[in-house]
Structure 1
Amino acid sequence: MGRPLGRIGNLEVRLASSDKEVAAAQEVRYRVFYEELGARKDASQTECSDADRFDHICDHLIVLDTSLPGAAHRRIVGTYRLLRQEQAVASGGFYSESEFELPGLVARHPDKRFLELGRSCVLPAYRSRRTIEVLWQGIWAYVNHYDIGVMTGCASFHGTAPAAHAEALAYLAHHCRTEEAWDVRAVAGRYHAMDLVPANDVNAKAAIGAMPPLIKGYLRVGARIGDGCVIDHEFSTVDVFVVLPVKQIAERYVSYYGAEAQRFAA
């Protein structure tokens, strides 16, 4: 799947097809997570690259600005890391299971193929609806190609204090929780409650407005949120868990993204 999976204007989305492109995606992640958002750099980390043991088993979805000069790896402006269930099982598990009880959820749905979405980031100049839409074109083409049944993954609020996001977290807890069949909980010892504000005191408009664009985007397409949040001190974030069964994606988005992605998913 090295060919294009989607395109809007000068933005093209596809899978990284070389070590150079994966390294360039890791550099974009470093610029966003470490230089911009203040993730904590390990003492042994000398390169300007965000990399871990999962990268070699994942597919790396990349957005390229085709109007920029130079080789393809120099045109990468956004990225998403995709970990399919088969690769996770063969390599010791999913990234997010250190924070959430994902293995239990997977075990309850043996007929579904899971996909973990992670390490989503876009360079500041490209943080627009158009970039998000081209990323979703790529994800939808990928989901159809591999017959994915469920998308999951962590999504983050900046900082390490859940109370700083009390209203937004409470809105998710009161109005956006997973159904029982898809419920998943933060792991014991890392669990932090999200219902920090009573349901009647939550201002929905303010709460939604305070959410990161990625979380709002997930909610728009029909995703639900697991039980509890987790503080990730390495990346200085408060993480929630997103669950999105493919059959529950809002019909208007299936029609919208599907019509575009069908050109690329064959």
Structure 2
Amino acid sequence: MTIELLDSTSVVDTSNAFVRKTIAAPATDILGRIGNLETRLARSAAEIDAAQAVRYKVFVEEMRAQVSPDAERRKRDVDGWDAICDHLLVLDTSIDGDVEEQIVGTYRLLRQDVAERASGFYSASEFAIAELLSRHPEKRFMELGRSCVLLKYRTRRTVELLWQGNWAYALKHGIDAMFGCGSFPGVIPEEHALALSFLHHNVRVRDEWTVAARPELYRTMDLMPSEAIDPKKALAALPPLIKGYMRLGAMVGDGAVVDQAFRTTDVLIVLPISNISGRYLNYYGADAGRFSSSVS
């Protein structure tokens, strides 16, 4: 999954005050549309169930994640956070049948105010999120998680729609920063020494945004000296989703965590809204209107 850039030299003000002044509510609950694909939030328990089925296909059948016997029987990827999150969907409206059969991608969105009233953030099981949040009591955070797209639909426009949905949702709720786990395949960090070291030396969180893996789970990302890293090869070795977040202006937390259940090595992505490149805002729309302007 790769986010492509448009070439643009235009600059817009990315401060949160500017963002909040330019929020525009969509005419419907559809957040974006490109061709036969559209993105919006799940409207029912049945649609959330269908999103969990997509997650199962990607995480369990494709990536070999370990799930409970009940989840295996039901062929659904489910956890306790599903009940409190909003579920962003990408649907292929050209597919005949009911709406559940049209869901081809999903993202799970959890706002800070909701997390604090319930089970907290999923990422807090791996990273010391509380320290980051306490450093920014005036900011609103949102967690992005469980991102997946069916193999056939891993195209530029699908990823653009997922980001369009995230962006529109963040504007609507006045979000100041997003974060979430980004994953490398496998449970041996050393197999990704080049990419992890590149992230450690070049895009690691600093100063007020500092956040690290929980001490008992911490695995170093500093596996190669900076002078030994070939940047082009390192970028090529990055998972496309992490590379896409970097292009948006994201930083990466200190330390990785091995997730044995999902068979991944996780890093924490931190994306302050104020970091998002002006050319991205011009492309997607400072009012989230880039792909929703034709929706009536």
Q: Report the TM range for the smaller structure's normalisation.
A: over 0.9
Q: Which has the higher contact order (CA 8 A, sep 6+)?
A: 2
Report the alpha carbon displacement of residue 259 of structure 1 after superposing the two structures with TM.
5.3
Q: Does 1:10 align with 2:45?
A: no
Report the alpha carbon displacement of residue 130 of structure 1 after superposing the two structures with TM.
1.0
1:261 alignment partner, SS class: coil
CA RMSD for the aligned pairs?
Answer: 1.4
**1:140/1:258 contact within 8 Å kept:** no
Distance 1:106 1:258 in 2: 28
**2:67/2:77 contact within 8 Å kept:** no
The percentage of counterpart residues that share the same residue type is: 53
Distance 2:285 2:83 in 1: 29
- Which stretches in structure 1 are left out of the alignment for 5+ residues? none
1:65 aligned to which of 72, 87, 92: 92
Q: Does 1:98 align with 2:149?
A: no
Distance 2:120 2:171 in 1: 23
Which position in structure 2 is the counterpart of 1:198? 225
Could you report, residue by residue, the CA deviation over 1:193-252 in whole angstroms, capped at 9, with x for unpaired residues? Answer: 001011111111111111111101100100000100000001000000000010111111
Which position in structure 1 is the counterpart of 2:238? 211
Amino acid in structure 1 at the alignment position of 2:97? G
Distance 1:201 1:250 in 2: 29
Distance 1:52 1:147 in 2: 27
Distance 1:262 1:109 in 2: 29
Amino acid in structure 2 at the alignment position of 1:9? G
Amino acid in structure 1 at the alignment position of 2:247? R
Q: How high is the TM-score relative to the length of structure 1?
A: 0.97
1:88 aligned to which of 104, 115, 118: 115
Distance 1:110 1:175 in 2: 27
Distance 1:65 1:39 in 2: 26
**1:137/1:260 contact within 8 Å kept:** no
Distance 1:219 1:126 in 2: 22
Deviates more, 1:105-114 or 1:256-265: 256-265
1:241 aligned to which of 256, 265, 268: 268
Which position in structure 2 is the counterpart of 1:132? 159
Deviates more, 1:115-124 or 1:65-74: 65-74
Deviates more, 1:151-160 or 1:174-183: 174-183
Distance 2:285 2:218 in 1: 36
Which position in structure 2 is the counterpart of 1:25? 51
Amino acid in structure 2 at the alignment position of 1:240? V
Distance 2:241 2:87 in 1: 18
Number of equivalenced pairs:
265
Q: Does 1:115 align with 2:115?
A: no
Distance 1:199 1:239 in 2: 21
Distance 1:188 1:172 in 2: 19
Q: How high is the TM-score relative to the length of structure 2?
A: 0.87
